[in-house]
Amino acid sequence: MIKHWKCITLLLATSLPPSSAVAQSGLIRVIESSEERRAILEEQPAISFGVQRAPELTISINDAVRYQSIDGFGASLTDSSAWLLWSKLTEAQRKEALVQLFDSRKGIGLSMLRQPMGASDFALDDYSYDDMPAGQGDADLNHFSIQRDQRYIIPILKEILTINPQTKIMATPWSPPGWMKTSQSMIQGSLLPTAYQPLANYFVKFVRAYEQAGIPVFAITMQNEPLHVPNNYPGLNMTAIEQTVFLRDNLGPSFRDAGLKTKILIFDHNWDLITYPITVLSDARAADFADGIAIHCYGGSVTAQTELHDRFPEKPIWSTECSGGEWQKGNMLEQQARLLIDSIRNWSKGVILWNLALDQNHEPYLGGCNTCRGVVTVKHDVTPAQVIPTVDYTALAHASKFVQPGAVRVDSNSFGQGSLEDVAFRNPDGSLVLIVLNSGGATTTFNIAWNGKYASYSLRKQSVATFVWDGK
């Protein structure tokens, strides 16, 4: 793997020509990565379309058939990630790291962030925006404040938005303030009946406070993993019926009355629990306030997303959390590339991994996962500290650098796991992008068929390649 950002800067800035250079020459750019060869985003010799079709598998692209639009790809600026970037790097290192992550020309062009509202499992301490002494409440939210986020989270978000103004920010609480809950703590418990409207007002105050700080909030979800109640970091048990009532009677009307344009997404839990969003969206009045569905990858099959799309085609889907970690065995690039491909083929408008940055010990964290992997590793046990890209960086880059926000997925056939897996897009500028994973055990030669023409390419085993050409 590349060991530090200086190498990445050289790779992205000098090895990858602008898309227009290939478009003008009528060629197809090819960018390939392989975990086995320790190769990241290697520009390969361009290929071209012709009339001859090799006697091999054919991936056919039909950009006249279009599916969902794409918001982008990204990760979560958890409290832990922001603290590492702010306190363990020099200002110059941090700015360079953010450019490499969010600038589409100099870096990989991430354009989505999931922002915890208060503490998650990856935070330095347990906090909300309205903490009160034990036994006291604040139903009028007189003590609400985002001051803690002003230390380093909001400054970093501002730097990111300066680099990439198209970045969309989703926000999610792991727990409301403890005084709103049966446990009277950020840990465990459920929402008190008297706290439904105060929690709705809490969301309104959060969105307004972030907007006043210069951070527009694209969407919120009501609760991270509402059916998972951890015992050592913030969480909340919120049943599907409770979420339905909260959305229908409190949060939806509060956003409407406040004139907020921020989207409200439901669910935010795993593929194998989709009876939950089905229950919420089966209530017509609640469904009117639901702008879409957030979903995680930690249980079940990605095809659950297509089940939800088929039932509720007017409700878009975003994949909002999927962490890599030490539990993964085998070729991790293959696994992470498949996650992106399958999520998009099953109707995701965006794919957001988990921590943007963790350190060499997978820290800091409050509880829960102690082997999770960040998109980058901030290695601060050496001097100077290093920012090391992980396999998640590479997988994201194959989509985020080349698929522009506002692109649409277009039709392509795929041969499935153990062969060629792929997904295709049409960008707003008219360019076409095809991402192909060869998950087979040998180099595979295949055709790309488009507009009555064919191009042939041989992709090494367990490698991923992105193809870009002018589709005008």
Q: What is the pLDDT of residues 312-321, one digit of tens each?
A: 999 999 999 9
Q: Phi/psi of residue 173, each to 5°?
A: -85, 145
380, 402, 424 — which closes off a domain? 402
Q: Above 80 in pLDDT, residue 358?
A: yes
- Say what the pLDDT of residue 22 is: 54
Q: What is the pLDDT of residues 76-126, one digit of tens each?
A: 999 999 999 999 999 999 999 999 999 999 999 999 999 999 999 999 999
Mean pLDDT of 236-264: 98
- Same domain assignment for residues 464 and 445: yes
- Same domain assignment for residues 345 and 441: no
Specify the number of domains making up the chain: 2
Q: Above 60 in pLDDT, residue 8?
A: no
402, 420, 436 — which closes off a domain? 402
- Same domain assignment for residues 108 and 191: yes
The residue length of the chain stands at 472
- Same domain assignment for residues 163 and 125: yes
Mean pLDDT of 228-242: 97
- Same domain assignment for residues 397 and 259: yes
Q: Above 70 in pLDDT, residue 2?
A: no
DSSP lists the bridge partners of residue 264 as: 220
Which residues are catalytically annotated? 225, 321
Which domain CATH number covers 203?
A: 3.20.20.80
Strand ranges in 301-341 using DSSP code E only, listed in sequence order: 317-321, 324-325
- Three-state DSSP state, 238: coil
- Same domain assignment for residues 191 and 216: yes
Per-residue pLDDT band for 16 (boundaries 50, 70, 90) equals low
Q: Above 90 in pLDDT, residue 143?
A: yes
- Three-state DSSP state, 112: strand
Which domain CATH number covers 50?
A: 2.60.40.1180
Q: In terms of Cα–Cα distance, which of 260, 257, 223, 219 is closest to 239?
A: 223
- Same domain assignment for residues 460 and 315: no
378, 402, 426 — which closes off a domain? 402
- Same domain assignment for residues 59 and 199: no
- Same domain assignment for residues 135 and 151: yes
- Same domain assignment for residues 142 and 230: yes
- Same domain assignment for residues 153 and 203: yes
- Same domain assignment for residues 165 and 228: yes
Q: Above 80 in pLDDT, residue 129?
A: yes
Q: Phi/psi of residue 325, each to 5°?
A: -175, 180
Query: Kind and range of the H or E element at 339?
Result: helix 332-345
Range of the domain at 162: 71-402
Mean pLDDT of 282-306: 98
Q: Above 70 in pLDDT, residue 279?
A: yes
Residues 6+ apart with CB under 8 A from 259: none
Q: What is the pLDDT of residues 259-268, one digit of tens each?
A: 999 999 999 9
